[in-house]
Structure 1
Amino acid sequence: MKTCLVVDDSKVIRKVARHILETLHFTVEEAADGREALTRCEAASPDVVLLDWNMPVMSGIEFLRAMGQSNLPHRPKIVFCTTENGTAHIRAAIDAGADEYVMKPFDRDTLHSKLMLVGMA
């Protein structure tokens, strides 16, 4: 079974994402900020990370930059999941290492299609 780490400071978003991902047969872990996510990835790298942009402690972009400097044996696919929809934000996310980008709010079909694009569904 594939694993996904859902990183978002909103407990509601984490619950919604967990529910969708579990229906897509993922094992799901959660983190409330980028620092917690980085610690989890260093302990056991997931197959994919669903990543929020705006979070306390460490933002999604900061997490991506830290991942780029880490020595993980397996780099997870990164799907940015945020309300930031400007072209500059999307470009910054891709440039920082995101594999795909999905806008909030999202539904099962949208998330499934993004996971397919990164080879995780």
Structure 2
Amino acid sequence: MTGAVHKAEVSPTIQAFAIDLLGEAGSLRELPTPRPGPEDTLIAVRVADVNPIDWKVRHGFKHIGNRFPLMLGQNAADLVVEVGPNVKGSAVGGAVYGSFWLAGTYADYVPASVRRPVERSAA
């Protein structure tokens, strides 16, 4: 159904690993659940990998400006729980994986551009 936002039950807050300053160790904290934009999906994260780019970003690689708290993590997999009104081809409940630059996959949920996630098999 194009033009409507479809979503599953999503908590208003998430647990996420984030930093407040470049170079700091970071911590697990409670933050508001990110919302997907009109062209995005929201993914419930069950699997996230540890990527060498994370420590580089933590130390200022690809300067990110004043975007703090900065949630770390680049790659994740699991289920789409919400889709924006302009999204076509992704549905709530769809299994996906992908690389999400500066999206913060060390969290319960991550917003993702529909150009990024790739559908995966349930196996």
- Report the TM range for the smaller structure's normalisation: under 0.3
Structure holding more helix per residue? 1
- Where relative contact order (Cα < 8 A, 6+ residues apart) is larger, the structure is 2
For the pair shown, the structure with the greater C-alpha radius of gyration is 2
| TM-score for both structures, normalised by structure 1 | 0.24
| TM-score for both structures, normalised by structure 2 | 0.24
